[in-house]
Amino acid sequence: MKKSILLLVTISLLWACGKSEKTVDQIIEEGSLPEIRAKKSELNSKQKEISDKIALLNEKIEKLDTAESRPLVTVEKLSDTVFKHYVEVQGDVKTDENIVIYPEYSGVLTKIYVEEGQQVNAGQTLAKIDDGGLSSQLAEAQTQLALAKTTYERQERLWNQQIGSEIQYLEAKTKYEAMQSSVNQLQAQLAKTVVKAPFKGTIDNVIADQGQLVSQGQNQLFRLINLRDMYVSADVPETYLGKINKGTEVIISLKSIGREYKGEVLQVTSFINPNNRSFEVKIAIPNADEAIKPNLIATVKLNDYSAQNALVIPQSILQENAKGESIAYYIKKKNDSVGVAKRAIVTTGKSYKDKIEITEGLNQGQIIILEGARTIREGQEVKIAQEDE
């Protein structure tokens, strides 16, 4: 009897174990809501159990294999370098030799000898104005002067020999001197009928027309510009007074023509403009090909601070702690590819663009962390990226 019962139990167990469990698809197909809910609860329980086990495994892996959790960082070795800070202002290209030429004599403009764009030398004739008979008056006056001179010299010889009266001698002398003055005046007037270039430059514009009647000091004849002796004028805030001096290094950028020049301050004015609290600086600028024109806008960078042996880092890697102190991370190497991140509280100096000077907190030769600095913590092991990574 006992054997029969045992056999029956064994058969029942084998039948139960051999009975296959319904799949999710089968349960969904049958459409039994209680069975669907039961299956969902069962799967949620299994999912949580698996997630907990994976978390335990990951925790154990991190403890046993630290290489898996090391963040990748790029580094740079600190070394002394020259650091320069610039103050940027806007300036204008100018020339002191940019003038409009007016006639000094009234009359008909009989001849124009130059054209626009032509290079001229100082004293070169540009145009001729009709003298209105002035040359004839000069010729007549010169004839009278020659006669007066002869008369005066004869009277002077006689007077020296004590022959003749003093009045005759003085009259001859006075007449001669008067004629000499008259000739000089006529010559000066006649010279004004010839329009000449006051300096070497370029005829930028021929304004008057040949045959035009022009009046002294009223009608514009030419615009003459010297494009060789150019300079940039810029207004600098008064706070930089004493930092910007004659000889200060300057970088000038002319974006409209795509050119950049290095130079130095030529002049610093002593006057502070009360309207904008600034002082003017002038910087000479080369223009051999005359591509630079007056009134071009220039970006002027003036070197107001320089350090010859500075420690400089990218400003973007600096962070701030809860106290508002600036911090940067550096590495203590274990080997060529692994190191330990260390935090340094630093004191900063001047900054320019993305570079900032470190005055305290870091030393020459230390290896600072660049990329990855914001995702690490003090004492964490890091993997140092090689050049090919």
What kind and span of H or E run contains 7? helix 2-18
Answer whether residue 347 is part of any domain: yes
Q: Which residue is it, tokens 């004599």?
A: 105
Mean per-residue pLDDT over the chain, rounded: 87
Does the residue 187 lie in any domain? yes
Q: Are residues 216 and 316 in the same domain?
A: no
Q: Are residues 105 and 203 in the same domain?
A: yes
- Give the Cα-Cα-Cα angle 194, 218, 193 (nearest 5 degrees): 15
Q: How many CA atoms lie within 13 A of 89 on its CB side?
A: 22
In a domain, 180, yes or no: yes
**Does the structure show a pLDDT above 60 at 180?**
yes
Confidence of residue 67 (pLDDT cuts 50, 70, 90): low
Numbers of helices and strands, H then E, in the chain: 5, 22
Cβ 289 vs Cβ 236: under 8 Å: no
- Does residue 167 sit in the same domain as residue 200? no
Q: Reduced to 3 states, what is the DSSP secondary structure of residue 240?
A: helix
**Which of 155-159, 321-325, 352-356 is predicted least confidently?**
155-159
The reply to whether 34 falls in a domain is no
Co-location of 368 and 316 in the same domain: yes
Which residue among 306, 339, 373 closes a domain?
Answer: 306
> Quick check: is 164 in a domain?
yes
| Mean pLDDT on 294-315 | 95
CATH number of the domain that residue 276 is part of: 2.40.30.170
When divided into structural domains, the chain yields a total of 4
Same domain for 280 and 358, yes or no, is no
Decide which of 27 and 99 is more confident: 99
The pLDDT of residue 336 is 80
- Residue 367 maps to a domain: yes
Q: Which of 21-25, 252-256, 346-350, 354-358 is predicted least confidently?
A: 21-25
> What are 209-252's pLDDT values in tens digits?
999 999 999 999 999 999 988 999 999 999 999 999 999 999 99
Residue 35's pLDDT is what? 78
Q: Are residues 214 and 164 both part of a single domain?
A: no
Enclosing domain of residue 121: 99-129+196-225
120 and 232, same domain (yes or no): no
Euclidean distance between CA atoms 161 and 380, whole angstroms: 120
How do residues 112-140 score in pLDDT, each as one tens digit?
A: 999 999 999 999 999 999 998 888 899 99
Does residue 299 lie within any of the structural domains? yes
Return d(Cα 52, Cα 46) in angstroms, integer: 10
- 270 lies in the same domain as 355: no
| Domain limit, last residue, from 263, 287, 306 | 306
Tokens (6 digits) for 163: 């022959």
Examine residue 275 and state whether it is found in any structural domain, yes or no.
Answer: yes
* pLDDT confidence of residue 64: 63
Q: CA nearest 176: which of 156, 199, 149?
A: 149
In whole angstroms, give the CA distance from residue 348 to residue 136: 83
- Does 221 lie in the same domain as 110? yes
Look up tokens 């994976």; give the residue.
54
Please check whether residues 231 and 333 belong to one and the same domain: no
CATH number at residue 103: 2.40.50.100
Residues 187 and 268 in one domain: no
Pick the closest to residue 182 from 212, 141, 134, 225 (CA basis).
141
Query: Count of CB atoms within 10 A of residue 12's CB?
Result: 10
Predicted local distance difference test score (pLDDT) of residue 297 = 96
Same domain, 157 and 258: no
Per-residue confidence band for 7, with pLDDT thresholds at 50, 70 and 90: very low
Please tell me the distance from the alpha carbon of residue 112 to that of residue 199, in angstroms, as a whole number. 18
Tokens 């002593």 found at:
270
pLDDT value of position 12: 44
CA distance 117 to 202: 6
| 172, 145 Cβ separation under 8 angstroms | no
pTM of the model: 0.63
- Shortest CA distance to 338 belongs to which of 64, 65, 72? 72
